[in-house]
Structure 1
Amino acid sequence: MFVLLAFLSLLVELGFGYPDRLVRAIGHPVIWIGHLISFLDRHLNRATLSDMQRRISGVAALIVLVGVPAAIAFAISTALSALPFGIILVAILGSSLLSQRSLASHVKAVADALDEGGLSAGRRAVSMIVGRDPDQLDEAAVCRAAIESLSENFSDGIVAPAFWLGAGGLVGGVAYKAANTADSMIGHRTPRHEAFGWAAARFDDLINLPASRLTGLLLVAAAALVPGADPANAWRSVLRDAGKHRSPNAGWPESAMAGALGLALAGPRVYGGLLVQDHLMGNGRREATSADIRRALRLYWTADLIMIAGFGLLAAMLR
């Protein structure tokens, strides 16, 4: 039933997304989880605590922010599952944990902005999806940033929650989303969060291990179906470069995407005014263009449909 739930949730989100009117009316699960994280950060991450005390407080915060949403999800899914067609209702809730449509929309907006408004418009559009300093980016860097974000968020925002929905039902999906949101908010190496967010960052690395590898494989498979993409080079890039990324997970989708498109992604980047050295993913061109963003989107959609079909086939086999 969990695999079927993941399949149906992917179909619901693919067809309808999460409407803006619903966000304005009641918010979004990530927003609700974010409020809980902010509350715990304010009350448990006090400047008077030592680094060890902050680390312990961060572990306690992680248990609360994963446990509370998961418990709520368990109660709701149990109640709904007892109803006729209850799995459809649970799938509608599960679809809110996925971002197939919104991710593609935000990345496409970067290509459109570059084509219609030039570099300044492209910088504004890419600043909505990446954390690096947009004013430091030339046009090729804006395009690379958009493609890197597409690659990483395909893993974190779609494959991983779908995987955990399939493995643990709505409880698994919600627990994953809570932990992943915590990493994005407090899992940074800053004076305030390096100790307090240590547990969130390490836990997020762990729970993203299977999905990041699966995402790389999906992109390699998709490259075999997309005209102009190179599946063999995508696989070579994964084998050569994935393990050299500073993240234990991001290198898999980034290297696969880079190799498939003949690009060199990642490398040195500026975050918050600081230069971050990273290994290149892929050994192709650095001069990416808006056309490459659109090629990356075709690869993304193909990989996404392969994943949906895989969940559907697995659900049918298990039935």
Structure 2
Amino acid sequence: MDWPILVFGRAALALLIERFAGYPAALFARISHPVVWLGKLIDWLDKQLNLQGVSSSEGRLRGALAVALLLAASFIPTYYLSRMLMHWSFGGLAEALLATSLIAQKSLRDHVLAVYEALGSSVAEARVKVSLIVGRDPAQLDEAGVAKAALESLAENASDGIVAPVLWYALLGLPGIAMYKAINTADSMIGHKNEKYQWFGWAAAKLDDIVNLPASRLTGYLFAAAEPSRFKEIVKVMQRDAPRHQSPNAGWPEAAMAAALGLRFGGPRSYGGEMVDLPYMGDGSDTVTRNDIRRGLRLLSRAMWLLFFVMLFGAFCVAAVDISP
């Protein structure tokens, strides 16, 4: 069966196409975006199933039901769509094009580049740009704070927005990338530790931790491999600092990028007016500059080319196994 071989190849193709094309603005204006569709479904499930005042066990059960319905809504249409495309002459290309809508390489790069460009003229404008990609309060950030926030977001979202979708597409095809994106979107919307979502969002948050685990480690190693002369040093810092992060996954790409750029991420910051003191990642300078953003984008570019070749290698490996007697 050649389906696994083709999926690894399609994953490489989707990554390559999305790198340069992204999601067309005209298409967004006409039909919106799959993540927006998922968001609307999650919002509806939230309104229907998230009842306040219920017990913790019932809240978790309702949240798990919401996630199960979301996954079913993601899996069923993409499964039958992928089966249909298998019989088309150019079905593989069509499926890869569909998969690009769930990869965020170009949009992530564009958002971070916008912060870099804004810092060239106005810190106030840069705060507005960085607020689009971070959860912390940007109002009090100086130039170094804005640059650090942009790079930390670049590192974490490289895993969540690029590597994880591509990996799950390679492993489970179009249904895999769709279900991953559904889980990740659910976590961002309801996976919060506040009164409203403490129990209802528990399943989404835990499942997101699980599905992001392999990609977060892979992203860290890709960043390290993008600086081959310092690979061992970067890996050592990553393995030391990543477990300190409050997230089981975010610390791996953040620590690796910090080490690769000779910087130090983490430290105190404000979320919703509340100060949070995060552990430090890396041993370098705390003074992050505008130019460091450009260096981070170059690091991302090299790492994503490595991911492209990893996908091609995966296709050749599966092909070798598939054709062996």
State how far apart, in whole Å, the 1-side matches of 2:141 and 2:55 are. Answer: 38
1:195 is paired with a residue whose SS is coil
2:139 is paired with a residue whose SS is helix
Which portions of structure 1, spanning 4 or more consecutive aligned residues, are displaced by more than 6 angstroms?
A: none
Matches within 5 A, 1:259-274: 259-274=259-274
Match of 2:150 in 1: 146
1:278 is paired with a residue whose SS is strand
Match of 1:278 in 2: 278
State how far apart, in whole Å, the 2-side matches of 1:244 and 1:291 are. Answer: 27
State how far apart, in whole Å, the 1-side matches of 2:16 and 2:123 are. Answer: 35
Matches within 5 A, 1:20-169: 20-116=25-121, 118-169=122-173
Of 198, 201, 212, the match for 2:202: 198
Alpha-carbon offset, residue 275 of structure 1: 1.4
Q: Which runs of 5+ in 1 are unaligned?
A: none
State the Cα deviation string for residues 56-107 of structure 1 (Å, max 9, x = none).
Answer: 1000001011121111110111111111121111111111110111100000
Alpha-carbon offset, residue 232 of structure 1: 4.1
Matches within 5 A, 1:296-311: 296-311=296-311
Match of 2:190 in 1: 186
2:275 is paired with a residue whose SS is strand
Name the Cα RMSD after superposition: 1.2
Matches within 5 A, 1:283-294: 283-294=283-294
Q: TM-score, normalised by structure 1?
A: 0.96
State how far apart, in whole Å, the 1-side matches of 2:119 and 2:248 are. Answer: 31
State how far apart, in whole Å, the 1-side matches of 2:8 and 2:166 are. Answer: 9
Alpha-carbon offset, residue 313 of structure 1: 2.5
Supply the AA of the counterpart residue of 2:155. Answer: S
Match of 2:322 in 1: none
Alpha-carbon offset, residue 151 of structure 1: 0.2
Aligned residues: 314
State how far apart, in whole Å, the 2-side matches of 1:26 and 1:135 are. Answer: 34
CA contact (8 A) 1:165 1:172 kept: yes
1:209 counterpart = 2:251: no
1:134 is paired with a residue whose SS is coil
CA contact (8 A) 1:182 1:200 kept: yes
1:304 is paired with a residue whose SS is helix
State the Cα deviation string for residues 260-315 of structure 1 (Å, max 9, x = none).
Answer: 11111012221111112211000111110110010000000000001101212321
State how far apart, in whole Å, the 2-side matches of 1:114 and 1:15 are. Answer: 24
State how far apart, in whole Å, the 2-side matches of 1:188 and 1:217 are. Answer: 28
1:135 is paired with a residue whose SS is coil
State how far apart, in whole Å, the 2-side matches of 1:47 and 1:314 are. Answer: 47
State the Cα deviation string for residues 26-57 of structure 1 (Å, max 9, x = none).
Answer: 01110000000000001100224233221110
1:19 counterpart = 2:24: yes
Supply the AA of the counterpart residue of 1:237. Answer: V
State how far apart, in whole Å, the 2-side matches of 1:277 and 1:186 are. Answer: 23
State how far apart, in whole Å, the 1-side matches of 2:7 and 2:315 are. Answer: 9
Q: TM-score, normalised by structure 2?
A: 0.94
Q: Which runs of 5+ in 2 are unaligned?
A: 1-5, 320-325
Moved more, 248-257 or 52-61: 52-61
2:235 is paired with a residue whose SS is helix
1:263 is paired with a residue whose SS is coil
State the Cα deviation string for residues 195-233 of structure 1 (Å, max 9, x = none).
Answer: 1101000000001110000000000000227xxxx4444
Supply the AA of the counterpart residue of 1:268. Answer: P
